[in-house]
């Protein structure tokens, strides 16, 4: 029986694995997160031209690989031929962009939980959510706690229809005035915001309304303590080692 993500959620979640310490959204980053004691990681999923789910943050491969162009216009073979490690450090040369299935396997092998952010290329929200939903239906182990999240409400609603038992988080950089309406519309269980915009009053309002509150991307220890003191449920950080210590 699957424990829900929130039942097992630690207060520190690794961002894109442990992306301050290893190249983001790679197997090396997931292993590094586990090695330093992270119990949960956030990763970004998008889809390829041939309908595979891969772990990548940007719409294009330019920043984090030796290739160029949109992920959505590349086949899985093309994606797999890219070096996703050297941009970070020569130590990680040859690191590949992982598939969702590969990421799930690593997360499970370390008994971590997973915050899977659906990152659709604009205009490709529904196909992305459907492909990710289908893959999770087929491959998600029953004992792996998952929280789905997205900046895109349409993606959350689409995947929520396919996997209603998985909790969902709505992402926004700011705290939108109409956050309650958006959370209802997304049928979300949590709000995830960028820490610069988070105030004590906002945390109280969101928590009083019965939602979980996660905050990204917090790399300063004093700020993390303040947010957690205010009642934030978890912070998402590039440096889980710093926060865990």
| Residue 112 or 171 with smaller CB distance to ligand G3P | 171
- Of the residues 52, 57, 192, 195, only one is catalytic, namely 57
Report how far apart, in Å, the C-alpha atoms of 192 and of each of 5, 92, 171, 221 are: 15, 30, 5, 19
* Residue in 117, 189, 238, 241 binding Mg ion, rule: CB under 5 A: 117
Q: How far is the CB of 122 from ligand G3P (least distance, A)?
A: 14
Sequence-distant (6+) residues with CB within 8 A of 100 are 45, 53, 54, 55, 116, 132, 135, 136, 139
Site string for ligand G3P, 7-46 (x = CB under 6 A): --------x--------------------------x-x--
Q: How far is the CB of 121 from ligand G3P (least distance, A)?
A: 14
Q: Is 57 assigned a catalytic role?
A: yes
Task: Give dist(CA 67, CA 79) in Å, integer.
Answer: 9
CB atoms under 10 Å from CB of 231, counted, come to 13
Task: Give residues 132-171 in contact with ligand G3P (rule: CB under 6 A).
Answer: 149, 171
Taking CB within 5 to 8 Å according to partner kind, which of Mg ion, ligand G3P, none is near residue 192? ligand G3P
| Residue 81 or 220 with smaller CB distance to ligand G3P | 220
Asked if residue 43 lies in contact with residue 30, where contact means CB atoms within 8 angstroms, the answer is yes
Asked if residue 146 lies in contact with residue 139, where contact means CB atoms within 8 angstroms, the answer is no
**Using the rule CB under 5 A, is 24 a contact of Mg ion?**
no
Choose one: 25-33, 40-48, 99-107, 220-228; the region binding Mg ion (CB under 5 A): 40-48
Sequence-distant (6+) residues with CB within 8 A of 119 are 44, 45, 46, 56, 57, 128, 150
| Residue 175 or 205 with smaller CB distance to Mg ion | 175
Report how far apart, in Å, the C-alpha atoms of 7 and of each of 83, 143, 146, 202 are: 37, 13, 11, 23
Q: How far is the CB of 77 from ligand G3P (least distance, A)?
A: 26
Q: In the complex, which residues of this chain contact ligand G3P (CB under 6 A)?
A: 15, 42, 44, 57, 117, 149, 171, 192, 216, 236
Instruction: Provide the binding-site residues for Mg ion, judged by CB under 5 A.
Output: 44, 117
Active site residues: 15, 57
């Amino acid at each position: 029986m699957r424990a829900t993500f929130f039942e097992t959620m630690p207060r520190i979640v690794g961002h894109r694995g442990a992306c301050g310490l290893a190249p983001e959204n790679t197997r090396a980053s997931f292993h590094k997160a586990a090695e330093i004691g992270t119990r949960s990681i956030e990763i970004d999923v998008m889809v390829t031209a041939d309908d595979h789910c891969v772990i990548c943050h940007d719409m294009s491969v330019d920043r984090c690989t030796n290739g160029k162009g949109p992920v959505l216009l590349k086949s899985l073979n093309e994606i797999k031929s890219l070096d996703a490690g050297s941009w970070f450090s020569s130590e990680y040369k040859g690191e590949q962009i992982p598939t969702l299935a590969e990421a799930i396997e690593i997360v499970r092998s370390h008994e971590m939980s997973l915050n899977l952010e659906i990152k659709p290329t604009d205009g490709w929200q529904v196909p992305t959510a459907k492909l990710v939903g289908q893959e999770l239906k087929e491959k998600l182990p029953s004992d792996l706690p998952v929280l789905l999240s997205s900046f895109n409400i349409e993606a959350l609603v689409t995947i929520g229809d396919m996997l209603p038992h998985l909790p969902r988080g709505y992402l926004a950089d700011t705290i939108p005035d109409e956050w309650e309406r958006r959370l209802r519309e997304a049928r979300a269980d949590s709000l995830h915001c960028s820490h610069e915009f988070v105030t004590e009053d906002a945390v109280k309002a969101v928590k009083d309304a019965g939602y979980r509150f996660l905050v990204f991307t917090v790399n300063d220890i004093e700020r993390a303590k303040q947010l957690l003191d205010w009642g934030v449920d978890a912070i998402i950080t590039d440096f889980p080692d710093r926060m865990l210590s």
